[in-house]
Chain A
Amino acid sequence: MRPIDPRVRRQWRIEALAGSGFTLAIGVIALLTASLSRLWTAVLLIGLGALIVAGPQALVELRYRYWRYGMGADTLVLEYGVWTHRQSMTPYFRVQNVDVSQGPLERWLGLKRLTIRTASAFTDATIPGLDAAEAENLRLLILERAGRDAAV
């Protein structure tokens, strides 16, 4: 089993910061329309704001530590999740198509995301944070192992 690229931590941190910033912005707007009569309320809210920012940042490291993927002889295996551990196994011959995608942040960091699709929409097989060259290699390898059988 292999870890994903460490650069993905930077991507997740930025995404988490954007999410926290949005939540905080809504909170600040709500606060500006209300009046703070007591000091402890203000302290509590500042603490909550700090938690909203720091919590997801702390989770990024844990999330990265738990992410593993492995290319078995017949099956792609993924393991991830902090609170809920997930281990998913997808046989190659069930593959309908392989998607490789890259968002603006991933483009900046030189990362790609690989998704395997089967006949079931519930198949859980997306590997984030792959080095761009590694994602292309994996794509070719999976397609080669998928063969040409009817997958349904």
Chain B
Amino acid sequence: MQPFDGAPPPQMPPPPEAPDWKRLHLVSPILNSLSSSLRFWPVLLVAVVNQGGALLGIILLGVLLAALGVEILQYLRFDYRMAGTTLIVRSGVLVRRTRTVPADRVQQVSRNEKLRHRLFGVAELSVEVAGAGTEPEVKLSVVNTAEAERIRVRLQDARRKVGTAPPEPDHIVYRQPNRSLLLWAIFTSPLFTIPAVGAGLGALSDAIDLERAWGWLPEGGQLWFLAAAGMLGLVAATAINLARFYDMRLMQADADLRLDYGLLTRHRLELPSERIQALVLKLSPAGRLSGTVGVTVHNASSAGEATASHLPAIPRFDRDALLDRLVPGINVEAEVSGHPPAALRRSLIRWTWPVAAVTLAIWAGSQNVWGGLLLLALGPAAALGARAWRVLGHGETTDVVVSRRGAIRDHTAVIRKARVQSVSVVANWFQRRRRLATLRIQVAQPLGNVSIRDMDAADAVDLARRLSLENHGRPT
């Protein structure tokens, strides 16, 4: 029998949003205390090197217990809730702090799942707003993965304007090929492996008697041992680089971009498209060898996650397609034009005078003719100066300004005009003589400042005026 004579059952009003404050996951104090204990690794290293068995145990236990105590107190005094379109967080043991983050001010939401987090099915969620600090505005360390996803979706929904179309399903717009990542990792690793192995062996030789320790090696074996250690370091560094950026995917999630990457620590980064301030493309010598270019997406987030929105190894043939996804219609090469010949002279002087000065100082100090041989370095320095001038350039479209510079590592910045905070034209005496000037474009932190060096002075003033006046309509 139908209740109410066949009338449809009364619709129950949706339950009001639970106003309850929520706590972090129960494992938070344990995981966080382990993390903070690891900061004391130099103390532990000293204890191990000095073979202090009992002392080591006491130090380790003391550090762990102290960290756990602090973390339990912080856990008990930390709670949060979503109230409408706002995330509210209360924290602080001695000094209480309530932080309110409106969803429409969010610059970036990042979710990190380190290996230890994945064991417990939890994640670290950082919500970042604009600012010059180095810490995220809100860090939930840690919540379970379902809760992290719920907060992310709530913040995303809150940003969407009322009456707009429902969100489209996420889809991959770009996947970084693992082959190019591997090549990049191989060519990048020697840069820091060789100094690291050297420093490690130096530290080891201070701590132990190398002569005695190497006694078991056959004649000439030390060289092989060093070569093997270097090779092992190289493989380890390559593996670390590979694991860090493994399986990188750029996804379109409604109006936002999402970046997923990492093998052991899995990162997920939400980048609201309209918050993107600039893109920076870097072509390093390692990138030239591996045929890749690094792309960093800059927004105005306050946290020190500069590497988080970095795609390190984009194959050069994929670059334009990816840029078109990030800034539709941009063709970097087509937009950029070179700087006046007067800038060549400045570039040559800028690269050669340090060599000349060092040579002169050495020659004056030692009166040694051989010191003059350093002048041979003037040739390569001049070649680099000439290349720096050839690379130097700038350009613009309706929406962006492009600045390109570099001699060894090419650096191209694509700045959205609508995000320019202020501009300044700077010209020193030498530049004024050649009718040159440097245009400085200021955008929100952390990128801060982009310089277009040695452009025509009249062009610099003209571009500065347009950049500061064109946007007066209002930010887009």
Contact = CB atoms under 8 A, between A and B. Distances in A.
B422 interface: yes
B300 interface: yes
A119 B427 contact: no
Contacts of B331: none
B116 to A, nearest CB: 35
Interface residues of B, number: 33
A141 to B, nearest CB: 16
A85 B445 contact: no
Give the interface centre of A86, A94, A122, A150 by most chain B CB atoms within 10 Å: A122
A89 B105 CA distance: 26
B27 to A, nearest CB: 36
B421 A120 contact: yes
Given A93-B474, A152-B444, A119 B469 contact: no
B130 A152 contact: yes
A62 to B, nearest CB: 13
A124 B449 CA distance: 11
B472 A91 contact: yes
B427 A91 contact: no
B443 A120 contact: yes
B472 A74 contact: yes
B45 to A, nearest CB: 37
Contact of A88 (B107, B130, B300, B422): B422
Interface in A62-109: 74-75, 81, 83-94
A109 B100 CA distance: 43
B469 A75 contact: yes
Given A91-B468, A120-B448, A151 B475 contact: yes
Given A86-B425, A87-B461, A75 B449 contact: no
B467 to A, nearest CB: 8
Given A119-B300, A119-B445, A152-B130, A124 B422 contact: yes
B422 A91 contact: yes
A84 to B, nearest CB: 4
B403 to A, nearest CB: 15
A130 to B, nearest CB: 19
20 contacts: A75-B472, A83-B429, A84-B428, A85-B432, A86-B425, A87-B461, A87-B464, A88-B425, A89-B424, A89-B464, A90-B422, A93-B471, A93-B475, A94-B421, A118-B444, A119-B421, A120-B449, A124-B422, A124-B442, A125-B422
7 closest residue pairs by CB, A with B: A119-B444, A88-B424, A74-B472, A89-B468, A120-B442, A90-B422, A122-B449
Interface of A: 74-75, 81, 83-94, 118-125, 149-152
Interface of B: 104-105, 107, 130, 132, 300, 421-429, 432, 440, 442-445, 448-449, 461, 464-465, 467-469, 471-472, 474-475
